[in-house]
Amino acid sequence: MSIKDLQNKKIAVIGLGVEGMSTVGYLVKQGIIPTVLDETLTEDNEAIKSLKAAGIGYIVGRDSIASLQNDKYDIVFRSPGISPLRKELVDAKEKGALITSHTQLFFDLCPCPIIGVTGTKGKGTTATLIYEMLKQQEFDAYLGGNIGLPPLEFLDNLSAQSKVVLELSSFQLQDLQKSPHIAVVLMITSEHLDYHKDISEYVDAKRNILRFQTSKDFAIINRDYPASLESDILTEGKVFYVSRERETENACFALGGKIIVRRNGQNEEIIDTSDIALLGKHNFENACSAVLAAKLAGVSTKYIVSVLKTFTGLEHRLQFVREVNGVKYYDDSFSTTPETAIAAIEAFTQSEILILGGSSKKADFTELGKVIRLAKNIKAIIGIGVEWDEIKYQISNIKSQILFIEGAENMYQVVQAASKIAQAGDVVLLSPACASFGMFKNYKDRGEQFIREVNSL
């Protein structure tokens, strides 16, 4: 799609979040005035007031998207939170509308190579690692998608020599019709089953990052997870693998305390795993993926190593908050799945006090329960939210002396409860394994409240 294809068309933008606002702004800069539909906003919202001031039409409220049935649009830009499988969008498509997205428009217009990163977890960390490595090499690099800016914000800055790194969620990939030049597929497990109808649809959405590649492109695939590994048949690009469990050809893997790249039977030792600044063995996978992507993009090993030695991670991802009376507090609020909680728990050998639970994403806590049952260093668990009962059920046959603390109604009570039983040498870990809604606005709010309460001790 070109800008010319958008001119003189009746266009709707659904959802006025960060990406939706960016889409509207970009279209208006091109002289294209869309209509905005948002079912969550009201007339007195500041974003709506700004639309009104700019003379941009809008429909808000519960029935706004239903208005697609009455008003025939040529093109509909959906925001990531709006599924392309919603009946209103399916009906509009059947009537001839093109259903597209901010991400698709960027792919259509971008003049330079795109490195795309997807996976259930690790996307933001890996995308940022790649971006930092590109910047170390002094490439004209940009970071966008789920992290950084909506990519249309920097489209006008790009040249053929630029390099773009995008973190891509299943929501953004679900109806994407192009794939990046370098596609990175991290761990894929169950996630967002409150949005996708089943795991098959979720995995299928992720695989669009590979589906449209050509023989000139590259795919980097984590072979330690079946859903990721089995995706390699979908790409026509040159495939490289990542593992922290085994060595393999044309790959980057963790072996014998080192990160190693193997190409055409030749090994290159990149860095000792003990020198990687990111905590947790799960981050070896992210580091290996970033190493391969950066190398394929032309980054020298010395710059790759420099970033791996200094990058300590993103906020709310195993973020060290503070040490109080010999107790270390870590914020892993971004952990919204059992798998990420397991990774966080296994990152420490010290005695741990865990904070687990939250709202439902229809996750399976069986393995998390098993890990907790087998762990020797879990001292206590503070259970919160509606999913705590299910997590507790999965660890119910535990025979150790783990203390369960229940009934906390806010983060102040959670942190106070942890601090009262913590002793010097312990780790207090917020890694909930669940979504945050209910007690908190989102994972950021949950993490920020945790940090604030820890800093108040």
Query: Which DSSP string do the residues of 112-147 spell out, in sequence order?
Result: S-EEEEE-SS-HHHHHHHHHHHHHHTT--EEEEETS
The residue ranges of DSSP E strands in 258-357, in sequence order, are 258-263, 266-272, 319-324, 327-331, 352-356
Give the Cβ contact number of residue 209 at 10 Å. Answer: 28
| Residue 370: C-alpha distances to residues 19, 244, 269, 274, 336 (Å) | 39, 21, 35, 28, 18
Residue 440 main-chain phi, psi, to 5 deg: -135, 160
Q: Give the pLDDT confidence of 215-231 residue by residue, as tens digits.
A: 999 999 999 888 888 88
Q: What is the pLDDT at residue 40?
A: 86
The residue ranges of DSSP E strands in 7-86, in sequence order, are 11-14, 35-38, 58-60, 75-78
SS3 state at 148: coil
Is the distance from CB of 117 to CB of 228 less than 8 angstroms?
no
CATH H-level, domain 110-310: superfamily: Mur-like, catalytic domain (3.40.1190.10)
Q: What percent of the chain has pLDDT over 90?
A: 67
**Average pLDDT of the segment spanning 38-46:** 85
Q: Give the pLDDT confidence of 338-386 residue by residue, as tens digits.
A: 988 999 999 999 999 999 999 887 788 999 999 998 898 999 999 999 9
Q: What is the pLDDT at residue 268?
A: 97
Is the distance from CB of 418 to CB of 323 less than 8 angstroms?
no
| Residue 402: C-alpha distances to residues 138, 182, 325, 372, 415 (Å) | 50, 45, 22, 9, 18
Could you tell me where in the chain the CATH 3.40.1190.10 domains are found?
110-310
Identify the CATH assignment for 319-455 out of 3.90.78.10, 3.30.420.40, 3.90.190.20, 3.50.50.60.
Answer: 3.90.190.20
Q: Give the pLDDT confidence of 185-218 residue by residue, as tens digits.
A: 998 875 544 444 557 778 888 889 999 999 999 9
Q: Which residues does residue 271 pair with via DSSP β-bridges, in sequence order?
A: 259
Q: What is the pLDDT at residue 192?
A: 46
Is the distance from CB of 351 to CB of 321 less than 8 angstroms?
no
Q: What is the pLDDT at residue 397?
A: 63
User: What's the sign of the alpha-carbon dihedral 203, 205, 209, 211?
Assistant: positive
Q: Which of 68-82, 256-270, 284-298, 302-316 has the lowest mean pLDDT?
A: 68-82
Mean pLDDT (the chain, rounded): 91
Separation of alpha carbons 21 and 48, rounded Å? 10
Could you tell me where in the chain the CATH 3.90.190.20 domains are found?
319-455
Q: What is the pLDDT at residue 71?
A: 77
**Average pLDDT of the segment spanning 147-174:** 94
Cα-based torsion angle of the residue sequence 43, 49, 55, 57 in order, rounded to the nearest 10 degrees: -30
Is the distance from CB of 182 to CB of 192 less than 8 angstroms?
no
Q: Give the pLDDT confidence of 398-432 residue by residue, as tens digits.
A: 555 789 999 999 999 999 999 999 999 999 999 99
pLDDT band at residue 121 under the 50/70/90 scheme? confident
Separation of alpha carbons 210 and 201, rounded Å? 15
Q: Give the pLDDT confidence of 252-301 residue by residue, as tens digits.
A: 999 999 999 999 989 999 999 999 999 888 899 999 999 999 999 999 99
Token duo for residue 377: 């260093």
pTM for this predicted structure: 0.83
Could you tell me where in the chain the CATH 3.40.50.720 domains are found?
3-103
Separation of alpha carbons 86 and 144, rounded Å? 26
Enclosing H/E stretch for 346: helix 338-346
- Backbone Cα Rg of the chain: 23
Return the closest-CA partner of residue 338 out of 282, 419, 290, 396.
282
* CATH code for residues 3-103: 3.40.50.720
Q: What is the pLDDT at residue 400?
A: 59
Q: Encode 350-361 in three state secondary structure.
A: CCEEEEECCECC
Give the Cβ contact number of residue 33 at 10 Å. Answer: 13
pLDDT over threshold 50, residue 24: yes
